[in-house]
Structures are given as C-alpha cells and as structure tokens.
Structure 1
Amino acid sequence: MTKLPPGFTHELPQHLQQHNHGVFDEQKEVPVLDFDRFCCRAHGFSALIETWQDSEGPSQLTLFDTGPDSLSLARNADAMNIPVERIDRVVISHWHSDHTGGLLSFLRLRSARSINVPPSCVVDVHPDRPIARGIAPGPGYDSVICALPPDPTFAAIEKASGRVEAHAEGHCVAADTVYVSGGIPRVTEYEVGILGGMRWVEGAGKPEQRGKWIKDGLITDERYVAIDVIGKGLVIFSACSHAGIVNVVKDAVECFKRPIYMIIGGLHLAGPEFGPRIPMTVDFLSSKLKPSPMYILPMHCSGFQAKVALEAEFGEGCVPAGVGIKIDVVGDSEADKTVFPPTY
C-alpha cells in the first residue's frame, strides 16, 4: 500500500486490470479479490525483464534468476498472467540455489505451454558450476554448518528442455537490448565478498583440497544484467551483489559510459559483518557517483539497515519493491541528448 513513484504499479491494481481474479459480484457490481491467486514471496530473487527496441516492434522477454524453490515462480507467473512460453532465455546470475531453485520447474511449465513455439529455452549460465556451496558463520568463518541445496546440473537443465549456453564473458541478448556481464572486477577495498562462503571440491583442483570445503567468498561466477534506456540511462539488475554493488556500478559505467538510472536487486548488506560497508556504499551511490541513480530498489539480501540508510539519502528514490511490483521505464530520444556519462 506504500505510495510508489510514477511508473511503478502495485500487484493489486494489476489484478483488477486483468479482470480474471476472483469472481464478479453481480449484486454489488464489483469484483471480489481472490487472495489465493496473489503472488507469494520467498527468500530468493527473480525478475522478468521485457524490452523493446522501438514501440512498433515485438518485445523480448528475459527471465533473470528463478527464485529458491519449485513452487513460488510457477505460482507467481500464473498469478500475474505471464506468458511463460514467450520467455526464450533465462539468465542465471550466479550458482546459489536461492537464484536457481525454480529453474527446472519453470522449464517444465514453459515446455507444457509451448504448443506452437520452439520447446527449448536458452539457459544462460556461468560455466563454473560448483558441486556444492556451504555456509560458515563467524567469527571464524571456517566451519560449515550447512550446505545450500544443489544447483541444477547441465544435464538436468537439458532434460527439462533447456539449452545451456555457458558464458564467462560479457555479451548481449534479447535482440541486443539486454547486456549480461562477465566477471565483475573487484576494485574497492571494502567489498570483499562473503566471509563465510564455502565450496565443496571433488575430483578436480589441488590434491590437498579434494573432498573438502574450501573458502569461496568472492563468488567469482556472479554476473549482473544491464539495460540502456534511451533518455534515462542504465537499469542495473544485481541479484545479490556478492561482488559489491559499488563494484557492479563501476563496471557498468566503465562498459557503457552512461549514467545509472535505476538499481534493482539484492545489495548483500544484511548482517553484522556487512554493517561497516553500508555508509561507504550509500556515500558512493548518493555523493561520489555523478549523477546519482534516480531510483534504488533494495531487495532480497539488502537488509533493513541498508534500506533505512538509502531512504535517508534518496528519499522517495529508494523504493520498497518486491514480488508483484511492475515497473515501466519508457525511453525518450529527445531527452537522451542531455544525458551525459557519469563521473565518480
């Protein structure tokens, strides 16, 4: 119910516009909402990106990550009337199961609805898929207390009608409207990954590491997605920002020489070990980056303290977003003449 800026739409009015949720009360002449068909949130990230090169041409649908489980994404796609059969590419940001857990169920759902379209869907991944990843809490960050659920294997993806494309380098997809980054350069001193990140090693690597957990805090397989909107600048999707959102933004600016218009996703600033990074991150985004972003949508792993700090600097430009929210970013070719490369 929070007031949203222009171009942002809550879930409820979208259901009312679709006229297919719940029943219509003939006596009262109003629709009755069906909360069983509203979206369900989960601890993960997934965003559907729809892009156009021009208003007359067809749009491209790209799914960025798939959430943590086999139920949420399929339910939410149905709740929002998403034409899943039109999604021809899934981009996986990195190999963590809270971002890959819904992949196989999505592919099966898409295959079941793909009667008149090619059954296969490209699954765009980083080639370095770990066998398993685990969590080692502080203060020592060296004793694994649990493993994350396994990410889908390449074989399982192919079996579910996915066509694996492994990319370690940056590349453009969706008719060149969406940029998928390569590895993110680590240039800041304070964004040092996740201290308790661990990886299980078998059969490969150094002999002394085989059959053991090794430190894997940098998550070097992480990638972000960027869209350059004419007249606005870059819309950045950073699903978890293990590399650090400042490193992400710096890489995007270096690649495109364009201002940052909007940042969407997890900033990974939740938890006591990340607290010291919050002031430096907020200071960079609000003061050092010129121009600063128009909107920041901190989600997933961003943490409450980071959201409070961002709201203090950006005001209504820090938007509370989550499942069911729709955002329209409309380009303007005339305004683009006044958009200059950012500095920091």
Structure 2
Amino acid sequence: MVGFLQPAPEFTHSGVFVSRMTRLPPGFVHELPQHVQLYPEPDEVTGVPVVDLDHFCCGAHGFSALIETAVEGEDSHYTLFDTGPDNQSLVRNVLAMKIPVDKIERVITSHWHRDHTGGLLSFLNLRKPGNPCMVDVHPDRPLARGIAPGPNFDKVTCTLPPDPTFELIEKAGGIVVKSSERHPVAGNTVWVSGEIPRVTPFETGMLGGMRWYEEAGGKWLKEQHIMDERYAAIDVAGKGLVIFSACSHAGIVNVVKDAIAVFSRPVYMIIGGLHLAGPEFSPRVPPTVEFLSNQLRPSPTYVLPMHCSGFQSKLALEAAFGEGCVPAGVGMKVNIVGDRERDKEFFPPVY
C-alpha cells in the first residue's frame, strides 16, 4: 500500500484503495477533492475540471507516509516515513500528488523489510542532483529475511528482495544516518524511537520470521522479534501523540506503551500496520482492541489500520471505535492542528 496521507503535522501515507465516497471525520480529506485542486484544468466542452484517473495514486503492499510538521512562526519540515515495496508506486504517487520532493529533508525507514524500503532508491533518484537527503536507518541491516509459514514455522518458502545497501543509498544521493537509539528529527517535531521494549505477554512477534546468517555458515535462523523496528511519533499540542507504526512487529500495544512511557502524554491517533492479519495473529485481535479501547485511558481518538492490519482487526476496531476507526488509504490527507491554549488544560492520566 503506497500512497499519501498528509498531517499539520501534515502527513501523507500509503495504503490500499479507499472508496472516494466513504464518510470521513473532520480534518480528513479524500484524494478526489485534492485532485481537483491539483489539476484544475477545465474540460473543453463542459468547462468543469476533469477527474484525470491517470494521475490518481495507486496502492501496493507496503507503507509510506509523508509527514509535514510546522510550528507557528517557523518553516515546515517534510519527513518521509518508509517508502513502500517497489521502485514504481511511490514515484507515481509523489508525482500524482505533486509532492515537493526536494523539500523532504529526511527519510526514516521503520525496519529492514523490502515492503518498507523498496521505493527508497527510486525516490532518491527522483530528487535534483546535488540535493542530498538524510536517510535515517537502523544499523543492523540483514543480508536477507525470509518467511516460514505455519503450522511449524520452520521451513523458509520464500525470501524478500534485498533491502538497499548503505552504499547504494549513498550513491543515490542519500546521507546515511545509522541509529538504534531514540532521537528527534525535523527541528525536534518528529520523534524516532529506539528499540521497542517487548513487555506485553500476547505480543510474541512473528513466528515465521527468519533471517539469513552468513556468519553461521550460511543458513536461516529464527528471528521472530525484528528488533530493528522503530516507530515515529509527533506530540501535537492540545491533542496528544500521533503514532506512526509501519508494521508493528513489536506489537502495537508495546508500541503505544513505549510512546506513553517516553512522553507521558495521551495518544490521539495511531496510523499504520498493526500486523494482525492471518490465522497466526487472529488470537491477538481481541486483547489488542480491548487494550486500545478500554484499558488505555484516555483511548485514542482515531485509529487508522492499514497494510498488515487485516480485515478482522478492522471490523473489531470499527465496532469499538465507531467513526474513530478510519478507513485510510492512498491519496488521503489528514490535517491535525495543534492548540496550545487547550494544551494548558489538564490531560487525564494515561496508564
């Protein structure tokens, strides 16, 4: 799923196709009205703008979100969180939405899985020569990662394409920034997590996760926890945390708990893949929804499940959150405006 969502913080994210007629909460904008503004040329016969479907976004199995953050009186910062699975989808969507690619200061990769890094090199090559971009990565890049399906989770049936190497990233104009520690970016408006603590008993990683180790004689070994995964968060005045979790291999409950421990702030919005799709993860859906909707206080105002979340989790979240569970996808834009005066009010305790 590759596309664009944009927060104020403005963000742009990737996802699957979403009906242009789905009712959305305030601040959420479908691609169609944006398209009419981006391509206002009237039809020669009728005089009204043409919905040119050749310039609409396309979805693919992955994730990518463009985040625009701005503090009053200061310039905006553009940060790209993940780049989708391939060398075509992100480029198509960037061009379709007329994104100012040369203003994007940094790319954050959530983890080393090709459905999140596949568009990195093509994105960097889209930029003007001599205009470098920071590429924020975890230093532990695997040679290969494979998938071993159930019920035994012991035989690798396929491997993901290799992630871009550090050398190829630099050759494409990226400045590689390796970090396994939590750190702020984008003028201190976006937070990149470090290693996510695994503290929730039912979130046990991906049982079929496998990694190729040359130093072990060249063989596949189990790697269910994907410890290089990171999330991004924005603390919006008067609202709380906007959390981007691209795949949630750590478990979205672990992600939320870590963000709250770091910021001591309520969670306003959760965006991205919750990794609850398929029979291996279906038992985790009820306790996950129970935590987010009932145990977490205050509960998030919005949850935007995408990518690897699965249909079952979307139904359960919609039942728990109603319109607070938003069917998000490519081309969607979300404007989140902070309110410093409201931020002075007392936020209910978070636990």
Fold-level match, TM-score > 0.5? yes
Cα distance in 1 for partners of 2:321, 2:346 equals: 20
The residue matched to 1:262 in structure 2 has which SS? strand
Show the counterpart of 2:319. 312
Show the counterpart of 1:43. 61
Show the counterpart of 1:253. 260
The residue matched to 1:111 in structure 2 has which SS? coil
Q: Which amino acid aligns with 2:27?
A: G
Show the counterpart of 1:266. 273
Cα distance in 2 for partners of 1:19, 1:264 equals: 28
Alpha-carbon shift at residue 25 of structure 1 (Å): 1.6
Instruction: Say if 2:142 is the partner of 1:135.
Output: no
- Residues 255-276 of structure 1: CA deviation (Å, up to 9, x unaligned): 0000000000000000001011
Q: Which amino acid aligns with 1:260?
A: V
Show the counterpart of 1:63. 80
Alpha-carbon shift at residue 277 of structure 1 (Å): 0.4
Instruction: Say if 2:287 is the partner of 1:280.
Output: yes
TM-score calculated relative to the size of structure 2: 0.93
Structure 1 residues 123, 87: closer, same or farther in 2, change over 3 A? Answer: same
Percent identical across equivalent pairs?
69
Q: Which amino acid aligns with 2:247?
A: C
Show the counterpart of 1:101. 118
Alpha-carbon shift at residue 31 of structure 1 (Å): 1.2
Instruction: Say if 2:267 is the partner of 1:228.
Output: no
Instruction: Say if 2:33 is the partner of 1:13.
Output: yes
Q: Which amino acid aligns with 1:162?
A: G
The residue matched to 1:63 in structure 2 has which SS? strand
Show the counterpart of 2:170. 158
Match of 1:241 among 242, 248, 259: 248
Match of 1:174 among 164, 178, 186: 186
Show the counterpart of 1:115. none
Match of 2:224 among 213, 217, 220: 217
How many residues align? The count is 331
Q: Which amino acid aligns with 2:150?
A: G
Structure 1 residues 198, 342: closer, same or farther in 2, change over 3 A? Answer: farther
Q: Which runs of 5 or more structure 2 residues have no equivalent in the other structure?
A: 1-20
Cα distance in 2 for partners of 1:148, 1:50 equals: 30
Structure 1 residues 339, 64: closer, same or farther in 2, change over 3 A? Answer: farther
Q: Provide the aligned C-alpha RMSD in A.
A: 1.0
Instruction: Say if 2:202 is the partner of 1:190.
Output: yes
The residue matched to 2:344 in structure 1 has which SS? helix
Q: Which runs of 5 or more structure 1 residues have no equivalent in the other structure?
A: 113-117, 204-208
Whether contact under 8 Å (2:149, 2:155) holds in the other structure is: yes
- Residues 295-328 of structure 1: CA deviation (Å, up to 9, x unaligned): 0000000000000000000000000001100000
Whether contact under 8 Å (1:289, 1:342) holds in the other structure is: no
Cα distance in 2 for partners of 1:32, 1:82 equals: 20
- Residues 22-47 of structure 1: CA deviation (Å, up to 9, x unaligned): x5223311011110110000000000
Cα distance in 2 for partners of 1:45, 1:25 equals: 34
Cα distance in 2 for partners of 1:32, 1:276 equals: 47
Structure 1 residues 273, 342: closer, same or farther in 2, change over 3 A? Answer: farther
- Residues 240-286 of structure 1: CA deviation (Å, up to 9, x unaligned): 00000000000000000000000000000000010110000000000
Superposed, 1:88-127 pairs within 5 Å as 88-112=105-129, 119-127=131-139
Alpha-carbon shift at residue 111 of structure 1 (Å): 3.1
Higher relative contact order (CA 8 A, sep 6+): 2
Deviation beyond 3 Å, 4+ runs, structure 1:
none
- Residues 91-144 of structure 1: CA deviation (Å, up to 9, x unaligned): 0000000000000000000135xxxxx521100000000000000000110100
Whether contact under 8 Å (1:232, 1:339) holds in the other structure is: no
Greater mean deviation of Cα atoms: 235-244 or 331-340: 331-340
Alpha-carbon shift at residue 19 of structure 1 (Å): 3.1
Q: Which amino acid aligns with 2:322?
A: G
- Residues 150-187 of structure 1: CA deviation (Å, up to 9, x unaligned): 00000000000001000000000000000000000000
Alpha-carbon shift at residue 339 of structure 1 (Å): 4.6
Q: Which amino acid aligns with 1:266?
A: G
Cα distance in 1 for partners of 2:167, 2:304 equals: 35
Whether contact under 8 Å (1:230, 1:333) holds in the other structure is: yes
Show the counterpart of 2:5. none
